[in-house]
Structure 1
Amino acid sequence: MSGHDTYEHLISLLDAARVDYRLIDHAPEGTTDKVCALRGHPASEAAKCIVLRVKVDRRTTRHVLAVVPGDRRVDLGAIRVLFDARYVGFSDAETAERLARAVPGTVLPFSFDPDLEVIADPDVVAQPKLYFNAARLDRSLLLSGSDYEQVARPRVEPISSTVDA
């Protein structure tokens, strides 16, 4: 599935769910702080999406899409505890693109691959306004955190930590 197909799949999913959303066109950008400035909102209202590799044991590797507020980082230790894992780290770019069906900077807080489990921080689903790139660098989407939770059905767990200054 190409990025364009991923975008179309997302829009079809949201339309079928009959949730309110708004598309926002902007200059191409995939860095959280910069795209938040283009869209005109604080980073806390953005969904930062990171694909992780979780080694549960010597033979079992899982992949997780961690979704945290844009002003926070993924707490790898929290993910390790959730899975009672030996190791948690960032997925390599090729695997992340294949599973997320998007290039870095455009990863959605949704999974269209059964091998990619979505875990969202409680502060993501609590947002009245949640912004994220819509599988494109030049278009973002705005919807409520509760509508996101209803449609994406992520596992909701505290997985973020503050960014150290």
Structure 2
Amino acid sequence: MSDKQRILMVCLGNICRSPLAEGIMRSKLNFTKFEVDSAGTYGGHVGEQPDNRSIEVARKNGLDITNQKCRKLTVDDFDRFDYIYVMDDSNFRDVTALAPTPEHANKVVKILDELFPGEGLDVPDPYYGGQQGFENVYKMLDQATDAIAKKLQG
């Protein structure tokens, strides 16, 4: 077991929001001290690359997320990760329902709560929208991961 802090980003399909969050978060943390991964609550895209629109908005911002592969959240993730960030209320309900103990459930936080505590804001799913939705999601996640990086790195 390493002494790295482990962060998991979770959305529904692990093809739009959580791969972006993973890529952005990774770019802000020292890889020798932190591990960042992502997963989805729905397993319909397992093994696939992120959505092309997520890949494109990441690339436009200097990040390459093409090596990521979609995976489904598992119960083991609660032991493996120190922090579990979800994108919206639906993800929050699904992830906390899978948590084996209340202590595990306490690891789950809506990512925008890091910026706007207590406001319960969601990162909207851009899947059925156009490119602008992906741009907006990128900006939200960029700001939220800034706050998380600042908190975790002191």
**TM-score, normalising length from structure 1?**
0.28
**TM-score, normalising length from structure 2?**
0.30
Q: Which has the larger radius of gyration?
A: 1
Q: Flag the structure with higher strand content.
A: 1
Q: Flag the structure with higher helix content.
A: 2
